[in-house]
Structure 1
């Protein structure tokens, strides 16, 4: 078991780790690779690097381990998704700065706190982006970061397990989302469909297709789509997720528990003697050597050990690898003297590496839930029943038998271009194009951003998947609360490719002060208008059979009094949520285009600091991002090992 304490580290000698003290009661140790790991990708990468028995690898995790699954059902039970949000044991509970274009609201930005990062607290949805989303990364100046390599490294990350489903309402074909001619993967993380899918989710799947592609003639939505000349997305995990499909979840198909970065490492990597994991260790700064070279050479890190409330150091001979996630990785670089000089100077931080791209180019998914009440005679189960303590207890018991609502997950996915759900889509994009070209002419964009916008506009012409719909059997919206004893159904609208760009920068030189997180929500009006269109379209879906047959006339949220575009916009701003899919804050781009890392994920101006997390993604994707985080880690491992150079 690689979990170590300060005492164990101080009392044992690891490969390249030497324990000692300084006048500040620092603990010193040498390691080939040090991971600053608060995020999904970090453990995955550490596991791969520790396959080389000659390398010692140290992981520093700021949260707790949470590996005793019996004591952490909020992590392990698939149907408990979202229950960790706001709980300080599992959630860092970050907040944005007041949003200028969204009524000056501060939004909660939850992130996973513990081994495995957000993979231990997300909604377990496992989706892949379209092929072109990934190929766009290469077009922006990153050779080797393309769909072919993405798909290759996906098979290293996961093992897909086909499931003979137990719900009699479903056909096996409906869950045939993986190309039978493609490898199922050989990775440590298992993905599958949840064993149980709720009845109303099936109706939503059919209603979506009916509304989008004509009248629905039978329960067999495949036949309906084919008759209308439209094919259900049969390759959502092979580069084409256009359409509706039943998504995979990162759940173990026989143990019926969440699989995530920590559990995926337990069976193999956690048995290796050359891998050490210290939890409760919050990194404050990357240390540099006294090298006279112009480049910053990392010699190790300083961290606060929470259990002892003392600062220590760990030293590295090879590399420091930053996997703290899009929200924290930029702050750690800035506190180490790497970043925009104007930011660092204001904070009194000595500039060691001037790098304009640090903390810039933030992109995020937004979502909003619209909730509708089910009819009184609807007999199916929804998550609403868990608000009743008696029923909740019954389903805990059922879960132990492999039954009940805790066995379910989010499976209904629909991805479409905006123009398929909005009649004014072309006009919106024409207006956006005029704005962008005017801003370019006036020099309002930093280097590289104009190129990204041009790529987005071109991508729209080729049916970029701007919108996503996800459904949930229960209430997940605001501001109106569900009524006791009632059952609800929620359709969630996501914005995939927003034009608004934000920033994350340190708020002070104190590492314990959270960074300033400013996503610039709705700075580009097209984002708000697309969101409004999603809400209006969701209202059309619920008026379509077979979903309308099980819904009452009660709309919980937004509510019958929210009708005009202005009212919808106001409601959206008050009730939207982050998608927890932040990318781009240390973008993999050429340095002269405001990049922070090169295609080998090396931080510009440094000899031996890499970033391996979602902050390197230069352009947002039309997918939930956890799968992409794992795959970035797999490709990074290949790069470091020299096996797959971009």
Structure 2
């Protein structure tokens, strides 16, 4: 939204009170907020990106930072902090439901997913899995036109964000199901996010690991050192000493609550980014890197659709960190995005930028539960009644027992050549199969997709990057995900109002057929796995449609599979860090093309989804972004 020469502060003076000394600013009895009339940096969103950047920028006491978050602080209750409660929390507390569009390449039905809506974002509700991905995943980012964003450029930030602990000093030796010999020089030991291992492992974790090896998949003792393939005991984002969740809030916000130059407003939604460019419209075809562009002068926000809108000045930069769904939507309703979409929304076009909301990527996932019927099996499902009371008491007394175990602690990431004898046929099919890209993709987005496709196919040919993931959970799932997806989707604003926006989110799962073919391969691997002697000892019962007998009818299995494929909760790419002629939205400094002082720091900037759970990468991205912002200003 263009905002002219009238001083913003004058328009909001009646709404503002004197500067508050507390970082967490709440409305007074009249609904007014005690804010400065301007800040050096305004950060939109308090997830990983927002909290990391706000923490690092406010290290300079002369710099003022305002963070605006739509939801509130969590209450640190047991369903949040205890690893054993993952997946059992009340979803209404800190999650928001999002509808996915009809999935035409699956079963023609909609999906509903959720994501964290709370200070700390999805780190408050995620599964704690701490995997980085392979060296090749990030080197591909650099080859796609992002100097400094390869493995070598990101490794210092992977290390900077983490405090990695194999064995807490106050605990006896872990009963690990496998040896853990990390590459110590690849890990950090002083970072804000604690990364460690639980004090308890379910017996079936050992069976899974032994069965995987029986199928010829090697053990990888440190999947975070640059080579991700193999079967691994994975670390979690958890405090080793007290076996509790380590999230973005406790890592990057709580320790700096005494900084008077860092303010957090919760319960308010940013409705528009304000700019002043004297009415000029930026055309992507004329963009010159380094040239002057739109000047962001602040943001507009409100508590709800009927509340007074508040406008705050920004002296240096606005930093979007609202996530891969809401950052592109906010850009679109602020006038930055595909011209046709903005016109349909009735939004004035400030920057015609086709990539905003395109290039959506995710790991398509299905989670069949193989019920273990052996009487000797104890799983998370058995923690009920008096057993739950005993497990709870053990946790709070000794910080040991099943409640220290997260939902996922062992995974297998096979390279494609390990699970098929027809590698070249797969690669040829991936190259030659036409992807059903969205009809409105322009030539830059098509060019960007082809560059990404070549990188993905190159990685599928390697032995240090996986084709899919198999996750063993604490209650019996053998969940599978395609880790190098070739399908691409979109996120489009439905309304010009953030309060009326249920975005049109369409990941377009399996619009490239190779993704579903990889998932079928993974299910076939599961069939082999449950027949190995270690897994057979659990007496597993496959879910309907996925049994060994069913496997003979691939058409039936494919149909059953497509009905349950959903999000892997790793949505990314919608504000991609790519050259503008490849459909990019931000450059390698994370600055939005055509602007002087607007950046994006969240999963949306990921140009190519790494073959990993993405929270570790997001922390590294945000740490690197903070250094880039400091250096640039």
| Coarse TM-score class (shorter-chain normalised) | 0.7 to 0.9
> Do the aligned partners of residues 593 and 180 (structure 1) sit closer, same or farther apart at CA in structure 2, a change above 3 Å counting?
closer
The residue that corresponds to 1:633 in the other structure is: 622
The residue that corresponds to 1:382 in the other structure is: 379
The Cα offsets for residues 461-489 of structure 1, whole Å up to 9 and x where unpaired, read as: 22331111110121xxxxxxxxxxxxxx2
Query: Residues of 1 paired with 2:26 and 2:510: CA distance?
Result: 50
The residue that corresponds to 2:287 in the other structure is: none
Query: Residues of 1 paired with 2:427 and 2:601: CA distance?
Result: 34
The residue that corresponds to 1:465 in the other structure is: 466
The alpha-carbon deviation at position 535 of structure 1 amounts to 0.7
Query: Residues of 1 paired with 2:353 and 2:227: CA distance?
Result: 36
The alpha-carbon deviation at position 11 of structure 1 amounts to 3.2
- Tell me which of 386, 391, 395 is aligned to 2:387: 391
The alpha-carbon deviation at position 306 of structure 1 amounts to 4.7
Query: Residues of 2 paired with 1:91 and 1:624: CA distance?
Result: 19
> Do the aligned partners of residues 405 and 454 (structure 1) sit closer, same or farther apart at CA in structure 2, a change above 3 Å counting?
same
- Structure 1 residue 76 corresponds to structure 2 residue 81: yes
Q: Give the secondary-structure state (helix, strand or coil) at the position aligned to 1:111.
A: strand
Query: Residues of 2 paired with 1:269 and 1:19: CA distance?
Result: 18
The Cα offsets for residues 243-283 of structure 1, whole Å up to 9 and x where unpaired, read as: 11100001111122100000112453222111111111111
- Tell me which of 428, 432, 435 is aligned to 2:433: 435
The residue that corresponds to 1:494 in the other structure is: 481
Q: Give the secondary-structure state (helix, strand or coil) at the position aligned to 1:411.
A: strand
Query: Residues of 2 paired with 1:376 and 1:235: CA distance?
Result: 31
The Cα offsets for residues 409-462 of structure 1, whole Å up to 9 and x where unpaired, read as: 2210211122322345532332232235999xx989623211111222222222
- Tell me which of 109, 112, 119 is aligned to 1:108: 112
> Do the aligned partners of residues 169 and 547 (structure 1) sit closer, same or farther apart at CA in structure 2, a change above 3 Å counting?
farther
The alpha-carbon deviation at position 8 of structure 1 amounts to 11
* C-alpha contact 2:494 2:504 (8 A) present in aligned 1: yes
The residue that corresponds to 1:610 in the other structure is: 599
- Structure 1 residue 403 corresponds to structure 2 residue 365: no
- Structure 1 residue 577 corresponds to structure 2 residue 566: yes
- Structure 1 residue 97 corresponds to structure 2 residue 85: no
After TM superposition, list the pairs within 5 Å mapping 1:103-252 onto structure 2: 103-163=107-167, 169-170=175-176, 174-176=179-181, 178-213=182-217, 232-252=219-239
Q: Give the secondary-structure state (helix, strand or coil) at the position aligned to 2:215.
A: helix
* C-alpha contact 1:50 1:57 (8 A) present in aligned 2: yes
> Do the aligned partners of residues 124 and 557 (structure 1) sit closer, same or farther apart at CA in structure 2, a change above 3 Å counting?
farther
Worse-superposed segment, 447-456 or 117-126: 447-456
The residue that corresponds to 2:370 in the other structure is: 372
The alpha-carbon deviation at position 240 of structure 1 amounts to 0.8
The alpha-carbon deviation at position 354 of structure 1 amounts to 0.8
* C-alpha contact 2:325 2:491 (8 A) present in aligned 1: yes
> Do the aligned partners of residues 438 and 78 (structure 1) sit closer, same or farther apart at CA in structure 2, a change above 3 Å counting?
closer
The Cα offsets for residues 349-382 of structure 1, whole Å up to 9 and x where unpaired, read as: 110011111011111012212322323421x431
The alpha-carbon deviation at position 28 of structure 1 amounts to 7.1
- Structure 1 residue 42 corresponds to structure 2 residue 72: no
Worse-superposed segment, 574-583 or 130-139: 574-583
Tell me the TM-score normalized by structure 1: 0.86
* C-alpha contact 2:165 2:189 (8 A) present in aligned 1: no
> Do the aligned partners of residues 168 and 183 (structure 1) sit closer, same or farther apart at CA in structure 2, a change above 3 Å counting?
closer
The Cα offsets for residues 370-420 of structure 1, whole Å up to 9 and x where unpaired, read as: 322323421x4311123x344334333332121332110221021112232
Query: Residues of 1 paired with 2:206 and 2:482: CA distance?
Result: 23
Q: Give the secondary-structure state (helix, strand or coil) at the position aligned to 1:271.
A: coil
The residue that corresponds to 2:289 in the other structure is: none
Q: Give the secondary-structure state (helix, strand or coil) at the position aligned to 2:184.
A: coil
Q: Give the secondary-structure state (helix, strand or coil) at the position aligned to 2:213.
A: helix
Q: Give the secondary-structure state (helix, strand or coil) at the position aligned to 1:517.
A: strand
> Do the aligned partners of residues 577 and 166 (structure 1) sit closer, same or farther apart at CA in structure 2, a change above 3 Å counting?
farther
Query: Residues of 2 paired with 1:48 and 1:204: CA distance?
Result: 41
After TM superposition, list the pairs within 5 Å mapping 1:444-523 onto structure 2: 446-463=446-463, 464-474=465-475, 489-512=476-499, 513-523=501-511
* C-alpha contact 1:436 1:453 (8 A) present in aligned 2: no
* C-alpha contact 2:277 2:294 (8 A) present in aligned 1: no
The residue that corresponds to 1:534 in the other structure is: 522
* C-alpha contact 2:545 2:556 (8 A) present in aligned 1: no
Tell me the TM-score normalized by structure 2: 0.88
The alpha-carbon deviation at position 591 of structure 1 amounts to 0.8
Query: Residues of 2 paired with 1:371 and 1:94: CA distance?
Result: 24
Query: Residues of 2 paired with 1:547 and 1:514: CA distance?
Result: 44
The alpha-carbon deviation at position 43 of structure 1 amounts to 0.7
The alpha-carbon deviation at position 548 of structure 1 amounts to 1.4
> Do the aligned partners of residues 618 and 520 (structure 1) sit closer, same or farther apart at CA in structure 2, a change above 3 Å counting?
same
- Structure 1 residue 298 corresponds to structure 2 residue 305: no
CA RMSD of aligned residues (A): 2.9
* C-alpha contact 1:362 1:582 (8 A) present in aligned 2: yes
The Cα offsets for residues 116-170 of structure 1, whole Å up to 9 and x where unpaired, read as: 1011110000011100100100000001101012110112111101216757753
> Do the aligned partners of residues 88 and 267 (structure 1) sit closer, same or farther apart at CA in structure 2, a change above 3 Å counting?
closer
Query: Residues of 1 paired with 2:503 and 2:402: CA distance?
Result: 38
Q: Give the secondary-structure state (helix, strand or coil) at the position aligned to 2:590.
A: coil
* C-alpha contact 2:159 2:186 (8 A) present in aligned 1: no
- Tell me which of 274, 291, 306 is aligned to 1:287: 274
Question: Structure 1 regions of 5+ residues with no counterpart?
Answer: 1-5, 214-229, 475-488
Number of aligned residue pairs: give it.
592
The alpha-carbon deviation at position 540 of structure 1 amounts to 0.6
- Structure 1 residue 323 corresponds to structure 2 residue 321: yes
Query: Residues of 2 paired with 1:340 and 1:131: CA distance?
Result: 33
Query: Residues of 1 paired with 2:361 and 2:17: CA distance?
Result: 41
Q: Give the secondary-structure state (helix, strand or coil) at the position aligned to 1:103.
A: coil
Q: Give the secondary-structure state (helix, strand or coil) at the position aligned to 1:174.
A: coil
Question: Structure 2 regions of 5+ residues with no counterpart?
Answer: 1-12, 283-292
Query: Residues of 1 paired with 2:210 and 2:434: CA distance?
Result: 38
The Cα offsets for residues 179-228 of structure 1, whole Å up to 9 and x where unpaired, read as: 13445332111100111111111111111111125xxxxxxxxxxxxxxx
The alpha-carbon deviation at position 298 of structure 1 amounts to 1.1
> Do the aligned partners of residues 461 and 170 (structure 1) sit closer, same or farther apart at CA in structure 2, a change above 3 Å counting?
closer
* C-alpha contact 1:13 1:19 (8 A) present in aligned 2: no
> Do the aligned partners of residues 426 and 370 (structure 1) sit closer, same or farther apart at CA in structure 2, a change above 3 Å counting?
farther
The Cα offsets for residues 76-122 of structure 1, whole Å up to 9 and x where unpaired, read as: 1111112347x232111111111111122211221101011011110
Q: Give the secondary-structure state (helix, strand or coil) at the position aligned to 1:586.
A: coil
> Do the aligned partners of residues 101 and 38 (structure 1) sit closer, same or farther apart at CA in structure 2, a change above 3 Å counting?
farther
Q: Give the secondary-structure state (helix, strand or coil) at the position aligned to 2:95.
A: coil
Q: Give the secondary-structure state (helix, strand or coil) at the position aligned to 2:154.
A: helix
The alpha-carbon deviation at position 38 of structure 1 amounts to 4.6
> Do the aligned partners of residues 507 and 339 (structure 1) sit closer, same or farther apart at CA in structure 2, a change above 3 Å counting?
same
